[in-house]
Chain A
Amino acid sequence: MHVRTTSLALSLLCALGVATSAQAAGTLHFANWSDYYPPELLKKFEADTGIKATLDAYDSNETLLAKLKAGGGAYDVVVPSDSFIEIMVKEDLLQKFDKSKLTNLAHLKDTFKTLSYDPGHDYSVPYLWGTTGFSYDSAQVPGGKLEESWKPFFEPAPELKGKVVALNSIEELFVPAAYYLGVDECTEDPKQAQKIQDLLLKQKPSLAMYNSDGTIERMAAGEVAMHEQWNGAFHRAHAQRASLTYVYPKEGIRVFIDNFVIPKDATNVAEAHAFINWMMQPENIAAASNFAKYNNAIEGSDKFMDKELFEDPAINTPADKLSLLKPFQLCSPKALALRAKVWTKLKK
């Protein structure tokens, strides 16, 4: 009996000891887009730093914005897209970084050193980035090759009717259409918006659907011949079907960057900084790239990246195509209202 009590007390003490040591190193509540962060990498972070981390997922920037607005300090690090950084800063939802704790900022590639939406990296550092172009199946398109332009996507050949899919989001249709027509993507002029609307309405009968989910499966199975697509999704589809090609249209291609930020009401701020700094180490960010199949912004991560990922021109944009990449622009509410109007007209 006596022995039992002692061992019980001992094990209790041990448990307490473990609990306090974990407490000392702190915890981190991290939220990211679903299926966009390797869970094993978080285990490595826990092993490296002793900080206990949890991973949560959300499905859209709007959801994340609503969660942050609701407050409560549930998350210490989240990953909004470039398009939402300025909005979140304006709404006073983000914390300014303590850059003395982000020593690895020096590892950022030159192209990502000053970004329009947060030039000094006061609130955000890039996680992964990609492009929104389109891909086609050379086995299914007439002639086996398409022009490097948005033209074949917005004005598909009659043979491809019902075999083309567009992403289901106004931004991802309006902006490329604006590139193609040479219109300012942030136009406030209804006449210019009308031009874009006409183009999209003309394209609609050729489309099988508007859908942002399942782009990989549809292209990999050869279900459709052309798909507006993110480059990472293309890379995965291409691995299953060799006849797929990714297009960098000559009129320009949207580059998107997802970023680490710390919400204003985060509870574990020191751990959040530690995590972001840790993620900017080449081998760690490369593990994220290998998992999500998107490129990152850290110098020296190449040698830790999978060869077929790094050598895919869709992922690692060739030097002569770099000028085509167009970063995000935050448009005025008036311009966005015009876009919304076009979308409603398109889908009524």
Chain B
Amino acid sequence: MTTPRLIAERRQLGRRLLLSAPAMLTLLVFMLLPLGIMFVVSILQSGDYGGVKWGEYSFEAYRNFFYERDLDDTLVFNTDYLEIFQRSFWLSILTTAGCLLIGFPTALYLALQTERKRNLLLFLVTVPFWTNLLVRAYAWMLLLRNGGLVDEGLQGLGITDTGLGLLYTNNAVIIGLLYTYLPFMVLPIYTSLEKMDWRLVEAAFDLGANRFHALKRIIVPLAMPGIVAGSILVFIPSLGNYIIPELLGGGKTLMIGNLIQLQFGSSHNWPLGAALSFALLSFVLLAMLVYSVRFKPGNAGGHP
């Protein structure tokens, strides 16, 4: 029995599929397909000098992530890669926390300005994007190195008396990452604050809240979607960043991005590189899962 209603529903479904086709196609071609290729590479046998041997499958790469062959060919637990992952996560968490600490007040300040001034300030936040990241990283090298502007400035003010040795340390990496991703924290928080109904804050003051309480009970909960979005936007690219640790870290310690690059470069081990990428992906998905369970968008506020 085909009622006109059923036909209409079917037609609507067809139209929906058609309308979503471009998005689906984009996802397929630019996300699923590359991921599929990476997965296939990760379960292939490594070529002798880079590349892979097609048709020879092996889970060696995944096993290598946790174990290595000892002298007598027994498998022993290997923490090298896990340590590199741990450091990357730690640096990324610090970067995210730092971005939040600087980004939230900045966004709040922005949201409280008149519209004219606000637009100008927003524009200024995006100005660094006009210059290539590489150039900006080199600028930081000049600023942070011994005898650089930061060092000389602090010595001139009498705060320090010897070289700080900032450049080529983890601290320099964090500074670089913080600088790079700060706008990604400011903009989403600003967006959620801009939409906020400021009468709620006035009401809070009327009901006897002090500034701290108003911030904690009204503003932060309402800005939560922005904070969550900003944190994700900072955390995930920090994890995979390659150029900042390479330039500002002095190449003394690896982050995940450098480790993966190494496998495709001089280590000639593409399957391990692909497997490491998948390990990174799964850790990120896991973190996102925890995040989304912990901060359900529904109870985070924003829309009462």
> Chain A interface (Cβ within 8 Å of chain B)?
60, 62, 65, 69, 87, 90-91, 162, 168-171, 190-191, 204, 207-211, 223, 333, 336-337, 340-341, 343-345, 347-348
Ordered by A's residue number, 17 sampled pairs between the chains whose C-beta atoms are within 8 Å are A62-B264, A69-B51, A90-B48, A162-B165, A191-B71, A209-B168, A209-B251, A333-B49, A336-B49, A340-B262, A340-B266, A341-B68, A343-B262, A343-B267, A344-B262, A345-B80, A347-B251
B170 CB, nearest partner CB in chain A, Å: 13
Do the beta carbons of B251 and A60 come within 8 Å of each other?
no
Decide: A190 near B71, CB < 8 A? Known: A207-B252, A208-B168, A347-B253. yes
> Chain B interface (Cβ within 8 Å of chain A)?
46, 48-51, 68, 71, 80-81, 83-84, 145-146, 165, 168, 250-254, 259, 262, 264-269
Do the beta carbons of A348 and B80 come within 8 Å of each other?
yes
Decide: A170 near B253, CB < 8 A? Known: A162-B165, A208-B168, A209-B168. no
A211 to B145, CA, bound (A): 14
Do the beta carbons of B253 and A336 come within 8 Å of each other?
no
A347 to B71, CA, bound (A): 21
Do the beta carbons of A340 and B168 come within 8 Å of each other?
no
A190 CB, nearest partner CB in chain B, Å: 5
Q: Which 6 A-B pairs have the closest CB atoms?
A: A209-B250, A210-B251, A340-B267, A87-B49, A168-B251, A333-B48
> A208 to chain B: which residues have CB within 8 Å?
168, 250
- Count contacts between A and B, CB distance < 8 Å: 71
Do the beta carbons of A348 and B253 come within 8 Å of each other?
yes
Please report whether the interface of chain B is mostly helix, strand, loop or mixed according to DSSP.
loop
Give B254's nearest chain A residue, CB to CB: A347
> B165 to chain A: which residues have CB within 8 Å?
162
A129 to B29, CA, bound (A): 44
Do the beta carbons of B84 and A348 come within 8 Å of each other?
yes
Give B72's nearest chain A residue, CB to CB: A190
Most chain A CB inside 10 Å of its own CB: which residue of B50, B146, B251: B251
A139 to B252, CA, bound (A): 27
Most chain A CB inside 10 Å of its own CB: which residue of B48, B165, B259, B269: B48
Decide: A333 near B252, CB < 8 A? Known: A90-B49, A190-B71, A344-B259. no
B254 contact from A162, A337, A341, A348, Cβ within 8 A? A348
A213 CB, nearest partner CB in chain B, Å: 9
Do the beta carbons of B250 and A210 come within 8 Å of each other?
yes
A137 CB, nearest partner CB in chain B, Å: 16
Most chain B CB inside 10 Å of its own CB: which residue of A91, A190, A343, A348: A348
